[in-house]
Structure 1
Amino acid sequence: MTVTKKGRPWRTALVLGTTAALAALGAVTAVTAQAAAGCRVDYRVSSEWSGGFNADVTITNLGDAVNGWRLAWTFPASQQVTQSWNATVTAGTSSVTATNVDWNAALPAGGSVSFGFTGSRGATNPAPTVFTLNGTACTGGVTPTTGAPSPTPTTPPAGVPYSNAPDGFAGAAGTTGGAAGATVTVTSQADLERYAASSTPYVIRVGAAITVSPYGREIPVGSNKTIVGVGRNGQIVNGGFHLGAGTANVIIRNLTIRDTRVASDDPDDKDFDYDGIQMDTANRIWIDHNTITRMNDGLIDSRKDTTNLTVSWNVIAEGNKAFGIGWTDNVTARITMHHNWIHDTNVRNPSTDNVQYAHFFNNYLQNIRGYGNYSRGRTKLVIENSYYENVKDPYYRDDTAELRQSGSVCVGCTGQRETGGSAFTPSSFYSYRLDPAAQVPALLRTYAGPQAAIGQ
């Protein structure tokens, strides 16, 4: 059995077969227990904080195939599990049993399965050293090694992650939206357009489903605006928003922006060529907690040097083109994209062209037919702790772009996973917290998109 510590927190991978492979991904703590005919367990503490920790566990079956597994251990310092994912784990006791869920019950000979959990701890957090799988012991010796401590300990996911201030590049640039102006509530297209296009700052609360006429109109948005749905009531139907050249300091939150028809998968279908949110040479923009679906063209387009943009906690779904970034020869844009659930789309997830700094973390890409995160031109892209499920070409770059990836999980993916270049260091520009990749699907299924508590 081996214990290792390294300086950078590691994030969950679903299927890992050896301790060497796990250590290569940067574990904070790893433990391997092994029997000649039974099982091996890789136990990894991926992050720690005062009173708590996150851990990831991978079981490798060294014996006969099993259908239904149960892993048991006892914490040596009275640690307890408080929540878990990809397994049912007993909580509130130091004697722990983790049992399969429906979809991962089968564990063939030589196969592996993984789960994770958040736990509570006291002053110390030693790893358990004895595990049993369906009553078969996984045993071995322990040889601890230590490295540099983690420079930025993470915390567990917040119960309600609804910040009212932007983070990422939009936050670092001082985006405030319409906070300096009056608050108005609109339920008609005429009022929405009047306040959105005004030269005066406004916080515009959308309190109803507004069907846009004519079909496919992109409503112009001026500078210094917050457009926010009231609870889950705010909808923009059969239209979208356009932020034109020079538009700055805009927040779009908590809305459902949707088409009533099923989006076409044919790129040549241009009968109604409009986006959910289109930005051309805009600056200081926060797009947060929206559902954007079934647009004929792009669900989101960030074009022509739009910069200081943060796109967070959105559901971006059911379209041919999800999120295109670029349409410029310049390399000046700065973009943060985190905690977005992109699913059942084709291309541009995103396609990122000539972006000076692009930082994508804790995103969930699911059922992507065309390609995933594509770094193009002279883009410098950093991807961290994202989750890719049934994605073709999850992340890759062209010859001139840079892409650095760490801590992400790919399940059922095919095609390219290509990195290269050093890209940049996001923490040089702003602080942020990474959630473990294995938690991302459940987290976003609950908290992405419009929320009842926002805009009230």
Structure 2
Amino acid sequence: MALRMSLVTSLTLLSAHAHAAGVSGTAFGFASGTTGGSDATPATPSDISQLSEWLTDSTPRVILIDKEFNYLGSAGQNAIDLDSSDWCGDYPSTSCDYDKEALNGIAVGSNKSIVGVGSAGVIRGKGLRLANGVKNVIIQNVHITELNPQYIWGGDAITLDGTDQIWIDHVKVSLVGRQMFVSGYEASGKVTISNSEFDGRTSWSASCDDHHYWTVLGYGKDDQVTFAGNYIHHTSGRSPKLEFNSYWHAYNNYWHNNTGHAFDVVKETKALIEGNVFSEVNTPSETDSSPGETFAVTSSDKSTCDSILGRACAVNSLESSGELSASDESVLSSWPSGESDITVLDASKVRASVLANAGVGKLGGSSGASNAVTASAPT
């Protein structure tokens, strides 16, 4: 009996410690130094009203998401015509019911850590919007889902528009009407998106093939984005689309089953693509009439990347996929400083590492920092 009581007590204390721990690991890449709510006492909101209040106020907070917070009220995608534009052309109009809550994300304030507990943290029917000077925010281990998935313009999961020092880690996004992640038009500053799952499986598809088209859109100006260790699957486009004057470093990500294009890099954007796995991706990189500057590491130009960056670059892996060829050396020669604590894993180990670490409920398998994307493949 004594042994059993001791074991129960230990498990209880361990559970309480895990619940109150807050953020796991530290930010790396361009978002290094992001602390979110820092040493604020972790607390759990009781309902959606309190969650919205805590997210939007000016108090530094560590907010624990320990259950589903449901904001829901009431074969191709229809589109919600928000501004009476004519982009739908001569397509017929139809009446429909949709949730207005999803159209505008919760306006998150500065100095927040939003952390899911275990795999229980779900925000349903409402996205998160960080804008107008918001800084120092961590979003970790939360599943955002069901934002009018049947309607284009039905809602964005995570929006940045005029921010700095943002770390998005171990997040899952599924079943949204529009973008899973979007930045712009104002500068989003230094951002890291890591160990996250962008799940494009849907019954409402702009490409009419059960794959989500509107996935990741980088429209911010002067952004510096680290995109690492993510799992992007069952999409058909914009995975990501990058435009305007920004830097994106995409490494050790796993793209799987994309029936359209992954990268679409246009206008002045500089993209460094290395150590990724593209599996069953029809077009790993779109050819645009006004292309940006891209360096995608291949075996033939790896030595060039090594020499200019002064470290070992990693070759991308293509499996049952289209071509990925881009070797604009200006990307490397102008690469900004400040992307710290990164180690790029060889592509042969990426699939296993990503599947083991990306998404919600997997914080125990990695620290959420650089070692999350450099972990050895599990035996």
The answer to whether the superposition gives a TM-score over 0.5 is yes
Asked whether 1:374 is paired with 2:264, we answer yes
Q: In the superposition, relative to structure 1, how do residues 166 and 446 fare at CA in structure 2: closer, same or farther (>3 Å)?
A: same
Q: In the superposition, relative to structure 1, how do residues 278 and 354 fare at CA in structure 2: closer, same or farther (>3 Å)?
A: same
Choose the corresponding residue for 1:169, options 13, 27, 30.
30
Distance 2:24 2:293 in 1: 31
Asked whether 1:446 is paired with 2:371, we answer no
Q: Tell me, yes or no, if the aligned pair for 1:396 and 1:418 is still in contact at 8 Å.
A: no
Distance 1:227 1:368 in 2: 30
What letter corresponds to residue 273 of structure 2 in structure 1? Answer: I
Distance 2:68 2:194 in 1: 22
Q: In the superposition, relative to structure 1, how do residues 382 and 260 fare at CA in structure 2: closer, same or farther (>3 Å)?
A: closer
> Counterpart in 1 of 2:190?
308
* Amino-acid identity (%): 28
Q: How many residues align?
A: 283
Q: Tell me, yes or no, if the aligned pair for 1:402 and 1:423 is still in contact at 8 Å.
A: yes
Choose the corresponding residue for 2:132, options 237, 245, 252.
245
Q: Tell me, yes or no, if the aligned pair for 2:214 and 2:237 is still in contact at 8 Å.
A: yes
Deviation at 1:393?
1.7
Deviation at 1:294?
1.2
Deviation at 1:400?
4.7
Distance 1:201 1:180 in 2: 9
Which has a greater percent of helix?
2
Q: Secondary structure at the match of 1:196?
A: helix
Deviation at 1:320?
2.2
Distance 1:163 1:417 in 2: 36
Q: Secondary structure at the match of 1:297?
A: coil
Misfit runs of 4+, over 3 Å:
396-400, 415-419, 425-428, 452-455
Q: Secondary structure at the match of 2:214?
A: strand
Unaligned runs of 5+ in 1: 1-161
> Counterpart in 1 of 2:343?
433
Asked whether 1:181 is paired with 2:31, we answer no
Asked whether 1:344 is paired with 2:203, we answer no
What letter corresponds to residue 188 of structure 1 in structure 2? Answer: D
What letter corresponds to residue 254 of structure 1 in structure 2? Answer: N
> Counterpart in 2 of 1:275?
156
Pairing of 1:252-401 with structure 2 (within 5 A): 252-259=139-146, 263-264=149-150, 269-270=151-152, 273-304=154-185, 305-318=187-200, 319-326=212-219, 330=221, 332-396=222-286, 398=288, 399-401=290-292
Q: Tell me, yes or no, if the aligned pair for 1:187 and 1:207 is still in contact at 8 Å.
A: no
Deviation at 1:427?
8.3
Asked whether 1:405 is paired with 2:296, we answer yes
Q: Secondary structure at the match of 1:347?
A: coil
Q: Secondary structure at the match of 1:283?
A: strand
Deviation at 1:213?
3.9
* Greater gyration radius: 1
Which has a greater percent of strand?
1
TM-score, with normalisation over the residues of structure 2?
A: 0.70
Deviation at 1:453?
4.5
Q: Could you say which structure has the greater relative contact order, defined with CA pairs below 8 angstroms and 6 or more residues apart?
A: 2
TM-score, with normalisation over the residues of structure 1?
A: 0.59
Deviation readout 1:182-235 (Å, 9 max, x if unpaired): 321124211110110010100000110111144315222011100000111100
Moved more, 394-403 or 344-353: 394-403
> Counterpart in 1 of 2:96?
none
Distance 1:253 1:349 in 2: 21
Deviation at 1:163?
5.5
Deviation at 1:239?
1.6
What letter corresponds to residue 424 of structure 1 in structure 2? Answer: L
Q: Tell me, yes or no, if the aligned pair for 2:285 and 2:323 is still in contact at 8 Å.
A: no
CA RMSD of aligned residues (A): 2.2
> Counterpart in 2 of 1:206?
65
Q: Tell me, yes or no, if the aligned pair for 1:169 and 1:310 is still in contact at 8 Å.
A: yes
